[in-house]
Amino acid sequence: MPARRDHRRAIPGVDRLLARPWCRRLAESRGREWVTSRLRAVLDDVRAGRVALPASEEGYEDLLRRGIAAAETPSLQPAVNATGVILHTNLGRAPLAAEAREAMARASGYGNLEFDLETGGRGSRYVHCTELVRELTGAEAALVVNNCAGAVALALTAFASGRGVAVSHGELVEIGGGFRIPEVVEAAGARLVTVGTTNRTRLADYARAVEAGEVGAILKVHRSNFSMSGFTEDAGLDELVALGAGAGVPVIHDLGSGLLADSAELGLPKEPTPAMSVAAGADLVAFSGDKLLGGPQAGILAGTRSGVAGAKAHPLCRALRCDKVTLAGLEATLALYRDPRRAMERIPVLRMIKAPVEELEGRARAVVERVAEMRVARGEAPLAADVSRGRSVVGGGTFPDARLPTAVIEIDAGDAAERWMAALRAHDPPVIARSRKGRVILDLRTIAVEEEGAVLSALASVGGTGGGAG
Ligand SMILES: *Cc1c(COP(=O)(O)O)cnc(C)c1O
């Protein structure tokens, strides 16, 4: 006990430390109140024994500086995606094209978001991007909201609130992040009218529900994140459109991923596109801005004039509107699709899907060689690193069965794999890898050429004095 009292007596007071020149300078640059509160937190930690009692005043300075640095690190940080999952939802889905990034920076100030530059009068934010969506999908009209989940919820609320929504049993899907079709229908104030069975749903099943008269909308949902095979049957979207048109019931297609590029050219299985849904006559098709489209988070509704007008007129539309920065990024991304070849080159998601394995292998070998040189130069132990073949996935709940042959850097880390992964995450910028059976795996497919420097410096220091993993 006496020892503990001595320990506390040795801790300087806030005022004494605040009067020191180093502390005064910190207070001047960051605000006195905030620095005082950080300093109090440091002293609390010392008193409670959460950190060792500093031997000198410099020790307090060091603790305060570290506390300030930790507090000043932005919560949202850029990271290198070395996982090989292209649309990695936890890492922010689609990395944006340079054109989109520039447009977003330009749009950050004042702009003509809801201002008509010709008349000087009030404009509408809903005009932005619509011309491009119409061009690229062939739709009569379009509306951009916050995300695809919001687009589907808005369409259902506008057209089926207080009524039934006919959905195939085989399409009552969960997308992830809490998006489950039955719950979305319920949240839209509509009643779920399930038709058909899990594996087989025919047009006649929908027709019975429509004839019963309580259906306000027919919803078709793309099975984007799983596949069904065997004894299966589905009603085609065009058949549903004909049924709906005859009964005055709108057809909404929840497509999820908004692939605007040619899946064959990407080497991927055939995937329905927004243009196909529009051509089939869907009143509204909903798709994401940040899945295969490769843009910022957004939800796009494309369809008939009356379909889009109905969605736009609903008060929920206001709650789901997206901001100017998103619209600018989406517009710049969509504009790249006017020239399909340019889109393939400029949109990172498409470029990554298309990258040939030979090219990735060459890059992987160059990284491994360069890391070896850097480690030798620094006096670090060499890495037990190899280049081998692996498989990347598209991710983001799309192309669940597609595997893209890729080249990976594999590091034999023995039982230190988890520590290695942690050291890579602690690097600035963080490098997010995978591990399997004591091997740390970095997939070149999702690492941009501009990010190779960061991967190099992370691998050059990890496991040694710099990385703290060995
Ligand atoms: C991904 C997906 C959604 C949700 O899209 P968000 O843009 O993430 O809201 C909805 N429906 C389907 C079929 C999807 O694949």
DSSP sequence for 99-154:
HHHHHHHHTTSS--TTB-TTTSSB--GGGTTHHHHHHHH--SEEEEES-HHHHHHH
Q: What is the mean pLDDT of each run of 10 residues along the chain (470 residues)?
A: 55 94 96 96 95 93 96 95 97 97 98 97 97 98 97 98 97 89 95 96 97 95 90 95 97 95 94 96 98 98 98 97 97 98 98 97 97 90 92 92 96 92 96 96 97 95 53
Q: Select from 172, 259, 291, 326 the residue to mutate for testing ligand 1; criterion: most ligand atoms less than 8 Å from CB.
A: 291
Q: Does the predicted model carry a pTM greater than 0.85? A: yes
- Is 348 in contact with 295 (CB distance < 8 Å)? no
Q: Select from 146, 224, 227, 297 the residue to mutate for testing ligand 1; criterion: most ligand atoms less than 8 Å from CB.
A: 224
Q: Is 256 left (phi over 0), alpha (psi -120 to 50) or beta?
A: left
Kindly give the residue spans of alpha helices, DSSP state H, lying in 379-438: 417-426
- Which residues are within 8 A (CB) of 253 and not within 5 positions of it... i.e. 6 or more apart? 219, 220, 222, 237, 277, 280, 282, 284, 285, 286
What's the rounded Cα separation, in Å, for the pair 417 and 419?
Answer: 5
Query: Angle of helix 357-378 relative to helix 452-461, nearest 10 degrees?
Result: 40
Q: What angle do CA 126, 258, 138 make, to 5 degrees?
A: 65
Please state the atom number of ligand 1 nearest to the C-alpha of residue 177: 8
φ, ψ of residue 215 in degrees (nearest 5): -95, 120
Please state the atom number of ligand 1 nearest to the C-alpha of residue 173: 13
Q: Is 149 in the pocket of ligand 1 (CB under 6 A)?
A: yes
φ, ψ of residue 31 in degrees (nearest 5): 100, 125
- Is 250 in contact with 109 (CB distance < 8 Å)? no
Calculate how far, in angstroms, residue 298's C-alpha sits from the geometric centre of ligand 1: 10
Q: State the pLDDT at residue 287.
A: 98
> Could you tell me how many residues make up the chain?
470
Q: Select from 90, 145, 146, 148 the residue to mutate for testing ligand 1; criterion: most ligand atoms less than 8 Å from CB.
A: 148
Q: Is 148 in the pocket of ligand 1 (CB under 6 A)?
A: yes
Question: Secondary structure of the chain: what % helix, strand, coil (to 5)?
Answer: 45, 20, 35
Structure tokens of 240? Answer: 């549903």
Q: Is 303 in the pocket of ligand 1 (CB under 6 A)?
A: no
The amino acid at residue 382 is P
Q: Is 147 in the pocket of ligand 1 (CB under 6 A)?
A: yes
For ligand 1, atom 15: residue with the closest CA: 256
For ligand 1, atom 5: residue with the closest CA: 148
Q: Would you call 469 helix, strand, or coil by DSSP? A: coil
What's the rounded Cα separation, in Å, for the pair 262 and 267?
Answer: 9
- Is 92 in contact with 395 (CB distance < 8 Å)? no
Calculate how far, in angstroms, residue 193's C-alpha sits from the geometric centre of ligand 1: 21
- Which residues are within 8 A (CB) of 403 and not within 5 positions of it... i.e. 6 or more apart? 391, 392, 393
Q: Which of 249, 159, 237 is nearest to 213 (CA)?
A: 249
Structure tokens of 67? Answer: 């506390």
Structure tokens of 454? Answer: 């960061």
Calculate how far, in angstroms, residue 256's C-alpha sits from the geometric centre of ligand 1: 4
Q: State the pLDDT at residue 382.
A: 86
Rounded to whole angstroms, what are the CA distances from 254 to 89, 103, 149, 179, 303? Answer: 19, 28, 9, 12, 12
Q: Which of 296, 225, 302 is nearest to 256 (CA)?
A: 225
How many CB atoms sit inside 10 A of residue 384's CB?
12
For ligand 1, atom 11: residue with the closest CA: 256
Q: Select from 145, 221, 271, 288 the residue to mutate for testing ligand 1; criterion: most ligand atoms less than 8 Å from CB.
A: 288
